[in-house]
Structure 1
Amino acid sequence: MERRDFLKTAAAAGVASVATASADAQAGKTSDRAPVQRPEAPGMLYRELGTTGERVSAIGMGGYHLDKDGKIPQADAIRLVRSAIDAGITFMDNCWDYNDGISEVRMGQALKDGYRQKVFLMTKLDARTAKDYDKQLEQSLGRLNTDVIDLVQFHEILRFEDPDRIFADDGAIHAAMAAKAAGKIRYIGFTGHKDPQIHLRMFEIAAQHGFKFDTVQMPVNVFDAHFRSFTNLVIPVAVKAGTGVLAMKTFGDGWLLKTNTFQPAEALHYGLSVPGVSVVITGIDKPEILQQALTAAHDFKPMTEAQRSDLLGRTREVALTGRFEPFKTSNIFDGTAQNPKWLGGSSANPETKPS
């Protein structure tokens, strides 16, 4: 189906979308499409993505860093993405709002010349309403230069009301299900970095609507176990549901490294060792950091309990207050809080009360 036909098809499919989601959940289905077989490289670690049947690299390439602070030339970013794919990284992370869309544009350029077929492509949308979801999805498809995105996740589930808005009568879930039915996306997930209780509420509201998420993305790092722990509270729920776990904030955008309590390889190995984690998504902005991630995958052996205890013991004291996880304790990482219009609907005008 051509992209120009999408909105018409989405509108027709939207009426029955939640009913379809309920039927699929009861049948244990996660996608109407068969898993895609992709080439795998020696030395890279690959894992099943939840119950989707997809095999992806256990290291994912974070899209935000492809233009972080506007300091990376486009040619370097494209070269970096292709080098990662050539080395066996197949999981590509991105978001509609990263660097005003430049991250998606650069990844789309990098995935030309046959590279798109080698990867599992994921992006995130901020929209909470069906109407705004459709708009953002069309923009992401164009930027990424593709007719289908493997996984689209609801981005920044940071507020307790976010699940209610997404599953409302005019909520984004309807557009997501319609897009899946139209063949524009293959899997549906959600992300957030604020509070594990909000993630649990997202699972709860989805279950009330008979919907099962294919993936969930959350902070998983050597500090998380000590403060508002997604690892301890959310991962068991995701695993029980068969939802693939995507780990992020391995280094907390550099905040955790400031404590000098661990080495980068230890942090990557910790994330890869957490039971239930399918992919550790890490920011890669230069060849040295790419090599760091590749080496961690190549050398990986599951941490022993003694190694894990030692690492958590070293980080416990500085982690207890959440000071070095500001994505949990402040709004400096909350793009949708600083740009409420990205959410669409009533959030575009803070003075308008939600219905």
Structure 2
Amino acid sequence: MLYRELGSTGERVSAIGLGGWHIALKNVDEELGIRIVRTAIDRGITFMDNSWDYNGGVSETRMGKALQGGYRDKVFLMTKIDGRSKQEATKQIDESLKRLQVDCIDLVQHHEILRFEDPHRVFDEEGSNAAFIEARQAGKLRYIGFTGHKDPQIHLHMLQVAAENGFKFDTAQMPLNVMDAHYRSFAKLVVPELVKQNIGILGMKTMANGILLRSNTVTPIECLHYALNLPTSVVIAGIDSMEILDQAFEAVQTFQPMDEQQEQLLLAKTAEAASRGEYEPFKTSSIFDSTAQNPDWLGKEPERIQQLMSA
């Protein structure tokens, strides 16, 4: 396993992270989910990804069980929170702590920053970042980040609003794959800014749950090699079988940094298929937007906005 620095945190984490969503899919029973997590840790993966909303909380519950018996101390544990209001975010953080069976989560991220209004809700006086800061002060979490999969301009807006509020994120998570480079590219627009600010870069949707592979342009190993070649701290991989876990380790063991010419040759394979975002439906549809389908997870709009509307 390769290990990399996580931005300016001083933490060293595995270059491959274990995706939490997959360990509670319908085809993965609890025994297999726990086995995947523990085998990944035994073989050197330290970064654990999860979210409050994954599979109705089952993903966090399974990971919490898997981390018993001494495994918790071997990992860097991350989860994500959907709440935009301070009240809702506080509740979700406490629920995640209970499911994961821990007193402190290493990294908690604002989940699905998909809309241009999301940063303003997060940084409102009664927004979720106030809950995150209070939780950090109380020792419930250590680092704060954000995620999104829709548009790189929204990520840049989140960084701008954070800076206007005197806040710097520890991490940012986004789709980084061989298709992204050709369409509304996070790699081209957001990654350079994160490098500049020394914010930990978390790549996801490296194969878009297998959708990218249906283009018949690249192999799974090529997908992982491309994401590892970017200045990522962690490439989060969805793993729902022991075979897919082996594949992730094969990608690390065979990875050699690519020069610009090698990278361009790889990206040329996907240029035509990627040109309209067809294989990145998380950018071009709402199918992946769990908070759009469950707006109540976000919590109430800020009180001052409601007062403006009723004045």
| TM-score range relative to shorter protein | over 0.9
Note if 1:192 corresponds to 2:148: yes
Note if 1:216 corresponds to 2:172: yes
Note if 1:310 corresponds to 2:265: yes
Note if 1:321 corresponds to 2:280: no
1:81 to 37, 41, 61: 37
| Other-structure match for 1:117 | 73
| Other-structure match for 1:290 | 245
Q: Report the Cα distance in structure 1 between the residues aligned to 2:261 and 2:151, rounded to whole angstroms.
A: 28
Offset, 1:241:
1.0
| Other-structure match for 1:178 | 134
Deviations 1:215-264 (A, max 9, x none): 00000000001000000000111111111000001001111000110111
Q: Report the Cα distance in structure 1 between the residues aligned to 2:275 and 2:307, rounded to whole angstroms.
A: 38
| Other-structure match for 1:131 | 87
Structure 1 residues without counterparts, runs of 5 or longer: 1-43
Cα contact 1:126–1:156 (8 A) shared by 2:
yes
Cα contact 2:46–2:74 (8 A) shared by 1:
yes
SS of match in other structure, 1:277: coil
1:28-39 pair list within 5 angstroms: none
Cα contact 1:346–1:352 (8 A) shared by 2:
no
Q: Report the Cα distance in structure 2 between the residues aligned to 1:92 and 1:313, rounded to whole angstroms.
A: 32
Change (3 A) 1:353 1:100: farther
Note if 1:62 corresponds to 2:62: no
1:299 to 235, 254, 267: 254
Change (3 A) 1:282 1:353: farther
Cα contact 1:346–1:353 (8 A) shared by 2:
no
1:244-255 pair list within 5 angstroms: 244-255=200-211
Q: Report the Cα distance in structure 1 between the residues aligned to 2:147 and 2:155, rounded to whole angstroms.
A: 8
1:337 to 279, 283, 292: 292
| Other-structure match for 2:226 | 270
Change (3 A) 1:352 1:208: closer
Offset, 1:299:
1.7
| Other-structure match for 2:9 | 52
Q: Report the Cα distance in structure 2 between the residues aligned to 1:190 and 1:304, rounded to whole angstroms.
A: 30
Offset, 1:85:
0.2
SS of match in other structure, 2:178: coil
SS of match in other structure, 1:187: strand
Q: Report the Cα distance in structure 2 between the residues aligned to 1:154 and 1:47, rounded to whole angstroms.
A: 23
Offset, 1:110:
0.1
Structure 2 residues without counterparts, runs of 5 or longer: none
Offset, 1:104:
0.2
Q: Report the Cα distance in structure 2 between the residues aligned to 1:255 and 1:120, rounded to whole angstroms.
A: 28
Q: Report the Cα distance in structure 1 between the residues aligned to 2:45 and 2:307, rounded to whole angstroms.
A: 44
| Other-structure match for 1:41 | none
Cα contact 1:346–1:354 (8 A) shared by 2:
no
Q: Report the Cα distance in structure 2 between the residues aligned to 1:339 and 1:227, rounded to whole angstroms.
A: 27
| Other-structure match for 2:101 | 145
1:8-27 pair list within 5 angstroms: none
Offset, 1:346:
3.6
Q: Report the Cα distance in structure 1 between the residues aligned to 2:223 and 2:14, rounded to whole angstroms.
A: 17
Aligned length: 307
Q: Report the Cα distance in structure 2 between the residues aligned to 1:318 and 1:299, rounded to whole angstroms.
A: 26
Cα contact 1:58–1:280 (8 A) shared by 2:
yes
- Over aligned residues, Cα RMSD in angstroms? 1.5
Q: Percent identity?
A: 60
Offset, 1:311:
1.0
| Other-structure match for 1:23 | none
Change (3 A) 1:307 1:83: same
| Other-structure match for 1:106 | 62
Offset, 1:161:
0.0
